């Protein structure tokens, strides 16, 4: 037992370093609204389950403390990079919410966005919280847990840190998220363009009328009406985007 326990403790610590870092950053599972103790308990539970599966593929405990520390740092970096890459998917809704708020006259309505960790447009916060709920409803968090397990196949413990692959994933994620965000908000872009052109023409025809002051309530009402019509399709579009992006972290078959 004296010889076995340090080896097993080191192997579990390797798994916990990667998965703990991922769970603390992942969307839905690692939201700031979840108490840290709950996230820690979840990280320990998932680490124990995956440890029992990947134990045979883990390298032996190195004799050098310096090498041991380097391995732990690499595992933490891999967990942070994978978790951050998946969290960047929520930036699509942040972009869409910001555009919707600007076009519907609600840009000044600010609220704390747990996904961004800062104040953002109220629409962005609403869409982000709805996305977190839909992730749990559609069991998409199961794909995140599968990605934790498959990460040991894509990025083996003790292997090289593939920064080029991570950089490519992050660049593609940010680009696709921005594109999806604009596509979700595209009805509001068209509506805002038509609405403001109409107000500009009306202001030229009736200069004595405070057109923009009168039209502001109408703009907000029309924005909520369009949101109610396109919300289901937009969130479904986002879930498809997130599912296809999460598939990049899974091993085929």
| Structural domain range at position 158 | 4-249
The number of folded domains in the chain is: 1
pLDDT in tens, 207-241: 777 777 778 888 889 889 999 999 999 999 899 88
Looking at per-residue confidence, does 134 or 121 come out higher? Answer: 134
pLDDT in tens, 50-84: 998 888 888 888 888 888 888 888 889 888 888 88
Q: What would the mean pLDDT of 28-52 be, rounded to a whole number? A: 87
DSSP single-letter state for residue 88: G
Residue 205: band (very low, low, confident or very high) from pLDDT cuts 50, 70, 90: confident
Q: What would the mean pLDDT of 99-110 be, rounded to a whole number? A: 81
Q: What would the mean pLDDT of 134-147 be, rounded to a whole number? A: 88
Nearest-CA neighbor of 137 among 49, 45, 239?
239
Q: How far is CA 247 from the centre of its chain?
A: 14
d(CA 86, CA 79): 11
Q: What would the mean pLDDT of 161-187 be, rounded to a whole number? A: 83
165 phi/psi in degrees, rounded to 5: -65, -40
Residue 103: band (very low, low, confident or very high) from pLDDT cuts 50, 70, 90: confident
Looking at per-residue confidence, does 212 or 46 come out higher? Answer: 46
Question: Which percentage of the chain shows pLDDT scores above 70?
Answer: 94
Judge whether 185 and 96 are in contact, CB under 8 Å: yes
Beta bridge partners of 118: 113
pLDDT of residue 190: 92
Residue 2: band (very low, low, confident or very high) from pLDDT cuts 50, 70, 90: low
Range of weakest confidence among 17-26, 105-114, 178-187: 105-114
Looking at per-residue confidence, does 83 or 32 come out higher? Answer: 83
Question: Which percentage of the chain shows pLDDT scores above 90?
Answer: 12
pLDDT of residue 185: 92
Residue 195: band (very low, low, confident or very high) from pLDDT cuts 50, 70, 90: confident
Looking at per-residue confidence, does 60 or 134 come out higher? Answer: 134
Tell me, yes or no, if the pTM score tops 0.85.
no
Q: How far is CA 135 from the centre of its chain?
A: 10
Residue 154: band (very low, low, confident or very high) from pLDDT cuts 50, 70, 90: confident
Judge whether 162 and 155 are in contact, CB under 8 Å: yes
d(CA 33, CA 128): 13
Judge whether 208 and 243 are in contact, CB under 8 Å: no
d(CA 147, CA 153): 10
pLDDT tops 70 at residue 42: yes
The DSSP line for 4-15 is: HHHHHHHHHHHH
């Amino acid at each position: 037992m004296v010889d076995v326990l340090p080896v097993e403790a080191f192997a579990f610590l390797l798994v916990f370093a990667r998965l703990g870092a991922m769970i603390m950053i992942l969307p839905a599972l690692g939201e700031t609204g979840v108490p840290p103790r709950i996230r820690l308990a979840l990280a320990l539970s998932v680490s124990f389950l995956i440890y029992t599966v990947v134990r045979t593929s883990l390298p032996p405990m190195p004799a050098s403390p310096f090498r041991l520390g380097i391995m732990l740092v690499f595992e933490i970096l891999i967990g942070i990079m994978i978790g951050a890459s998946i969290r960047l998917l929520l930036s699509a809704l942040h972009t869409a919410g910001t555009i919707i708020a600007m076009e519907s006259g609600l840009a000044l309505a600010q609220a704390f966005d747990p996904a961004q960790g800062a104040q953002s447009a109220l629409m962005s916060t609403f869409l982000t919280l709805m996305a977190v709920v839909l992730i749990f409803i559609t069991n998409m968090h199961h794909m995140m847990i599968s990605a934790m397990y498959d990460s040991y196949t894509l990025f083996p413990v003790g292997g090289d840190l593939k920064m080029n692959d991570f950089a490519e994933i992050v660049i593609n994620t940010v680009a696709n998220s921005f594109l999806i965000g604009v596509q979700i908000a595209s009805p509001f872009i068209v509506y805002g363009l038509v609405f403001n052109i109409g107000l500009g023409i009306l202001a030229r025809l009736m200069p004595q009328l405070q057109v923009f002051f009168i039209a502001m309530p109408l703009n907000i009402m029309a924005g909520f009406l369009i949101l109610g019509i396109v919300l289901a399709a937009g969130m479904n579009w986002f879930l498809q985007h997130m599912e296809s992006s999460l598939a990049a972290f899974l091993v085929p078959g």
